[in-house]
Structure 1
Amino acid sequence: MGHSHHHHHQELSGKKLLISILLNIGITLAQVIGGIISGSLALLSDALHNFSDVLSLIISYLANRFTRKQASVKRTFGYKRAEIMAAFVNSATLIVIAVILIKEAFERFLQPEAITPSLVIWLSALGIAANGFSVLLIRKDAKDNMNMKSAYLHLFTDMMASVAVLVGGLLMYFYQLYWVDPLLTILIGLYLVYMGYDLLKSSSKVLMLFTPDQIKVDEMVQIIGEHPAIKNVHHVHIWQLNEREIHLEAHIDFHKNINLITFDEILKEIEEKVFHEFGITHLSIQPEFGKCHTKQVIVQD
């Protein structure tokens, strides 16, 4: 039942992403044409970011579909990492786009150009409306899914960029402050770097099999080792497969040469403890008795 609910949730997320893709294609075309006609760098940079949104949303959509595929003998984990890969790619593109925008803005500062602000105002308003709708559409899904969060960040930052462009357009229209256009572009770029870095770091940690931040290994080993039958917990590996699955692999040295039924009972107790206290969902334990090899908690294989 839980799996069925999760599958339905993924399908719903996929549909929301598809709607957002179509909206962003429309915005991008409108802003490219408007940016060329008006001469607004901020509008063209917004269009560039919108185009990156389209690509990132397509990546997120494909990852969402791939994740639903079943595991096989060649892919025993299935495509559970697909959404983490999408989050990594999308957060990296956010930072690259930001650098491009900042570079273009500095060049515009050195060579200012006249801009048609009325067109900028209308098209940025269109961007706010469409991206705002997309942001509200996938906001809930972004809370517990890196892939959806990466798509959400692209859309949210683009909505904020459109707000900045609108403010710039109004200032240019009423006060002829044309330097506002590149200034806002720089601020948008810096904001993208700030937002993209955090997600890039989080997705990189998962892909590199780092221990999840919330798990204190020494504390966990100590709690497991408190069981009277356990002599030592060592050779520990903890990694996060995706947002929903954290795996623990360890060797456990026992005081006595216990039978399988006793081991299964102890294993069940350990599973309950590490799930409720550390959120670990999958456990692989190698039982040992009287082995002479290293008993270090962390061992480089």
Structure 2
Amino acid sequence: MGHSHSHKHHHHQHDHNSRNLFISILLNIVITIAQVVGGIISGSLALLSDALHNFTDVISLIISWIANKLVKKKASLKRTFGYKRAEILAAFINAATLIIIAVLLIIEAIERFTNAQEIESNLVIWLSAIAILGNGLSVLLLRKNADDNMNIKSAYLHLFTDMMASVAVLIGGLLMKYYQVWWIDSVLTLAIAIYLIVMGWDLLKNSFKVLMLFTPDSTSVKSIVRDIQTFNAVKNVHHVHIWQLNEDEIHLEAHIDFNENITLSEFDNILSDIEEMIFHKYEINHMNIQPEYGKCDAKDVIVQD
């Protein structure tokens, strides 16, 4: 037996996200090419590191865009859930790349500390300013839905951190131009890398939990079991599994022992009441309940399958 509460606005939201992601991809391709050329000419590690991060933005945005398209594909006999997990997987990949790139930037920054080089600051200033404008526009496009969708949030974080990196590069360019402080290039690169790790870790952890079918942090198994057992007909709730399929769906499956050998129609009525209570109190919108009476099986709340 199961129950589902639908969300009709999701298809429109996915189309809106897809368009914004595509625009952001084009903007970041232009920025990346400009920064690579400018970084080579100027000799700025910060500008090249910013270009590298912009390139990963392009990759991450393409991954997010593909995931956004896949999630709309219908379920089939071979894929009974369709591609509902595509966006979570994209978020995990993008968060992981944030951290990997941050480590590489730290290594490069440390090496440059010992070999500071004079940098063409004017080019750094102009290109970082262009990058701020381009990434700033992309950030505004994705900001609205970033809190509701891990995939969009991962793309948003890539763009937001890159915009901040460009701000840091701009400040560094101004300091180098007027004060000839060449080592500031390495310092800013190091600061950018640390910021990436901080921003990426939380998203990596949350997407990992969803992929591993962990119980959502906001959901208490003990409370749910206790609430279901308040129904007079229910004797015991056991063999409970709760997991988050994607941004919109939390699933619960459980075995319920009944005090009496009730009819199927009686079970349907009780199940409907349980589903409504669980949905409104815990926002769990998919339930699969196995009714039992007098069955000899493990009665533990959590049973290792």
Is TM > 0.5 for Structure 1 vs Structure 2? yes
Q: How does 1:91-106 map to 2 (within 5 A)?
A: 91-106=95-110
CA distance in 2, matches of 1:116, 1:185: 16
CA distance in 1, matches of 2:195, 2:8: 38
1:139 maps to which residue? 143
Q: 2:258 aligns with which of 246, 254, 257?
A: 254
CA distance in 2, matches of 1:147, 1:293: 40
Residue identity opposite 1:238 in structure 2: I
The gaps in structure 2 that reach 5 residues or longer are 1-5
The question of 1:119 aligning with 2:123 is answered yes
CA distance in 2, matches of 1:292, 1:64: 45
The question of 1:76 aligning with 2:89 is answered no
TM-score, length-normalised on structure 2?
Answer: 0.97
SS in 2 for 1:143: coil
1:251: how far off? 0.1
CA distance in 2, matches of 1:224, 1:293: 19
May I ask how many residue pairs the two structures share in their alignment?
301
CA distance in 2, matches of 1:77, 1:164: 44
CA distance in 2, matches of 1:246, 1:3: 13
1:273 maps to which residue? 277
Q: How does 1:1-301 map to 2 (within 5 A)?
A: 4-301=8-305
Residue identity opposite 1:166 in structure 2: L
Higher relative contact order (CA 8 A, sep 6+): 2
1:4: how far off? 4.9
TM-score, length-normalised on structure 1?
Answer: 0.99
CA distance in 2, matches of 1:112, 1:122: 21
Q: Cα RMSD (Å) of the superposition?
A: 1.0
1:292: how far off? 1.6
SS in 1 for 2:70: helix
CA distance in 2, matches of 1:279, 1:7: 20
1:161: how far off? 0.2
1:5: how far off? 2.6
In the TM superposition, what whole-angstrom CA distance separates every residue of 1:216-266 from its partner, at most 9, and x where no partner exists?
111110001010000000000000000100000000000000001110011
Residue identity opposite 1:192 in structure 2: L
Residue identity opposite 1:202 in structure 2: N
SS in 2 for 1:72: coil
SS in 1 for 2:80: coil
SS in 2 for 1:200: helix
1:94: how far off? 0.3
Runs of 4+ residues deviating >2 angstroms: 2-5
In the TM superposition, what whole-angstrom CA distance separates every residue of 1:74-116 from its partner, at most 9, and x where no partner exists?
0000000000000000000000000011100000001111101
In the TM superposition, what whole-angstrom CA distance separates every residue of 1:170-195 from its partner, at most 9, and x where no partner exists?
11111111111000000000000001
CA distance in 1, matches of 2:116, 2:53: 21
Residue identity opposite 2:127 in structure 1: L
CA distance in 2, matches of 1:94, 1:294: 44
CA distance in 2, matches of 1:7, 1:277: 26
